[in-house]
C-alpha cells in the first residue's frame, strides 16, 4: 500500500482481505448491573472472540499478513514467536495457505497451547524466555523465511482492527471501548478503527500488572523492556511493545490501565458464571479493568469490551479459579 492510504483505509482493506476466511464473531449486549453492581448504569457490549477460528482474535492479523506476501515469500515459509495464541493463528493460517511455518515459543508457554500449535502442522522451536527474540531472529535467518511479528506490524494490527469495525457496526452508539493489551497489536488496531471512525469514543487499553510494557513505556516517554514478566495472562506477557504500536497508542488511545492477576481471575469468574462463556485470563483483562473503575467511563455510557480469546483447558481453568 502506498503512503496515501490512511490508517482507517488500511483496516477497511484488511476486512476485505480476510472476509470469508474468518468468523464474524457475535457481540453480547447486556445491562452492566446484570453482570455486577459496580457496573450499574453502563450498557456493555462484549465482543466474543473466543468463537473466532483458533479461539482468539489473532487469526485476523495473521491472514492479512499472509495475503500480503508474494508467492516467492510464501514458498520460503514464515516464522513467528508466541506463547500460544499467535502461534496457533500462524500455524492455522499457514496450513490454510500451504505455507511452511516455524514457531518460536518461550519456556513459559502453557503445554496445551504448544500441543495445539504442533497439531496444526507447524515446527516448534522452544527457548528460554530471555532468548526469545534472539531465537526468533536466528530461526528466521536460518530458514530464509518471512517473520510474522505478533503485534508490531501495521499489516498485522490492521487485520486485528477489523474487530473494531465489527464492534462499531453492532454498537454504533458506542461511547467507549476497553481493549486488552499485551504487545498492543489488538489495542493499536481497534483504536485505529474506532477512533478514526468515531473520534469521540474513549479507547482504553488494559494490561496485567506483571507485564505492563506499554504503560511503563508511556510513563517513561521511551520504549521500556521489562526484565521479567509474571502474570497468569500468558497471552498478554511479552516483555516489550513496539515502535509501530506505540505510535498508534499515542495517536488513538486515551489511557492504559493496569490490573492484578486476582482482578483478572474475578473477571474470568464473572464471564463464566454470568455470561456462560469460557474465557482465558488474557481475554478477561479488559473486563477486569472496567470492574476496577480505572478506565474512566461514566454512567449511561455504552461500553465495548473485548473478550479476546478462550484458549484454556479444564485443568488450567480449575487451577486458576
Among the CATH numbers 3.40.390.10, 3.30.160.100, 3.40.50.1100, 3.20.20.70, which is that of 58-150? 3.40.50.1100
Contact 275, 267 (CB under 8 A): no
- Residue that is written with C-alpha cell 486485528 in the block: 160
Q: For the purposes of burial, counting CB atoms within 10 Å of the CB of 301, is it exposed (0-12), middle (13-18) or buried (19 or more)?
A: middle
Q: What is residue 205's predicted lDDT score, i.e. its pLDDT?
A: 98
Q: What is residue 3's predicted lDDT score, i.e. its pLDDT?
A: 55
Give dist(CA 237, CA 139) in Å, integer: 21
pLDDT in tens, 118-152: 999 999 999 998 888 899 999 999 999 999 999 99
The sign one gets for the Cα dihedral 193, 195, 197, 202 is: positive
Q: What is residue 303's predicted lDDT score, i.e. its pLDDT?
A: 98
Percent of the chain clearing pLDDT 70 (strictly above) = 99
pLDDT score of 288 more than 60? yes
Identify the active-site residue in 56, 82, 83, 308: 308
Give dist(CA 38, CA 314) in Å, integer: 29
Give dist(CA 196, CA 288) in Å, integer: 26
Percent of the chain clearing pLDDT 90 (strictly above) = 90
The sign one gets for the Cα dihedral 237, 242, 245, 248 is: positive
Q: What is residue 125's predicted lDDT score, i.e. its pLDDT?
A: 96
Mean pLDDT over all residues of the chain? 96
C-alpha cell of residue 237: 506477557
Categorize the per-residue pLDDT at 1 as very low, low, confident or very high, splitting at 50, 70 and 90.
very low
Higher pLDDT, 5 or 271: 271
Q: What is residue 4's predicted lDDT score, i.e. its pLDDT?
A: 80
pLDDT score of 190 more than 50? yes
**Strands 27-31 and 302-307, bridge-based pairing:** unpaired
Q: Which CATH number does 7-57+155-320 carry?
A: 3.40.50.1100
Q: Do domains 7-57+155-320 and 58-150 have the same CATH topology?
A: yes
Residue 58 catalytic? yes
Beta-carbon contacts of residue 156 (< 8 Å; ≥ 6 apart): 61, 62, 64, 65, 148, 149, 150, 185
pLDDT in tens, 79-118: 999 988 999 999 999 999 999 999 999 888 889 899 999 9
Q: Is 41 left (phi over 0), alpha (psi -120 to 50) or beta?
A: left
Q: What is residue 306's predicted lDDT score, i.e. its pLDDT?
A: 98
Give dist(CA 184, CA 276) in Å, integer: 27
C-alpha cell of residue 160: 486485528
Contact 66, 78 (CB under 8 A): yes
For the chain, the domains span 7-57+155-320, 58-150
Categorize the per-residue pLDDT at 2 as very low, low, confident or very high, splitting at 50, 70 and 90.
very low
Strand order through the sheet with 78-81:
123-127, 101-106, 78-81, 146-147
Contact 148, 141 (CB under 8 A): no
Higher pLDDT, 93 or 239: 93
Residue 308 catalytic? yes
- Residue that is written with C-alpha cell 476497553 in the block: 178
Identify each DSSP E strand in the chain by its residue range: 27-31, 43-48, 78-81, 101-106, 123-127, 146-147, 176-180, 202-208, 255-259, 302-307
- What are the distances in angstroms from CA 315 to CA 125, 297, 312, 319? 25, 35, 8, 6
C-alpha cell of residue 200: 469521540
Q: What is residue 265's predicted lDDT score, i.e. its pLDDT?
A: 98
Give dist(CA 11, CA 192) in Å, integer: 8
pLDDT score of 203 more than 90? yes
Q: What is residue 47's predicted lDDT score, i.e. its pLDDT?
A: 98
pTM: 0.95
Identify the active-site residue in 47, 53, 58, 216: 58
Amino acid at each position: 500500500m502506498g503512503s496515501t492510504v490512511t490508517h482507517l483505509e488500511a483496516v477497511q482493506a484488511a476486512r476485505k482481505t480476510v472476509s470469508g476466511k474468518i468468523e464474524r464473531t457475535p457481540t453480547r449486549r447486556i445491562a452492566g448491573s446484570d453482570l455486577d453492581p459496580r457496573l450499574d448504569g453502563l450498557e456493555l457490549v462484549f465482543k466474543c472472540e473466543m468463537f473466532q477460528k483458533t479461539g482468539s482474535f489473532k487469526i485476523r492479523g495473521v491472514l492479512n499478513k499472509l495475503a500480503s506476501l508474494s508467492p516467492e515469500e510464501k514458498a520460503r515459509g514464515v516464522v513467528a514467536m508466541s506463547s500460544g495464541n499467535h502461534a496457533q493463528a500462524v500455524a492455522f493460517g499457514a496450513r490454510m495457505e500451504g505455507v511452511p511455518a516455524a514457531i518460536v515459543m518461550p519456556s513459559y508457554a502453557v503445554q496445551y497451547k504448544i500441543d495445539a500449535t504442533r497439531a496444526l502442522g507447524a515446527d516448534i522451536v522452544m527457548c528460554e524466555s530471555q532468548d526469545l527474540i534472539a531465537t526468533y531472529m536466528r530461526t528466521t535467518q536460518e530458514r530464509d523465511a518471512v517473520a510474522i511479528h505478533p503485534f508490531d506490524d501495521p499489516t498485522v494490527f490492521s487485520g486485528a482492527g477489523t474487530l473494531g469495525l465489527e464492534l462499531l457496526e453492532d454498537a454504533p452508539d458506542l461511547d467507549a471501548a476497553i481493549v486488552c493489551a499485551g504487545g498492543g497489536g489488538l489495542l493499536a488496531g481497534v483504536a485505529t478503527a474506532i477512533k478514526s471512525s468515531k473520534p469521540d469514543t474513549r479507547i482504553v487499553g488494559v494490561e496485567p500488572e506483571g507485564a505492563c510494557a506499554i504503560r511503563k513505556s508511556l510513563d517513561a516517554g521511551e520504549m521500556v523492556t521489562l526484565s521479567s514478566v509474571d502474570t497468569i495472562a500468558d497471552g498478554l506477557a511479552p516483555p516489550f511493545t513496539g515502535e509501530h504500536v506505540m505510535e498508534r497508542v499515542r495517536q488513538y488511545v486515551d489511557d492504559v490501565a493496569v490490573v492484578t492477576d486476582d482482578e483478572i481471575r474475578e473477571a474470568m469468574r464473572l464471564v463464566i458464571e454470568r455470561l456462560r462463556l469460557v474465557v482465558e485470563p488474557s481475554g478477561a483483562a479488559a473486563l477486569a479493568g472496567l470492574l476496577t473503575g480505572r478506565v474512566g467511563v461514566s454512567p449511561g455510557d455504552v461500553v465495548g469490551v473485548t473478550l479476546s480469546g478462550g484458549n484454556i483447558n479444564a485443568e488450567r481453568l480449575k487451577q486458576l479459579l
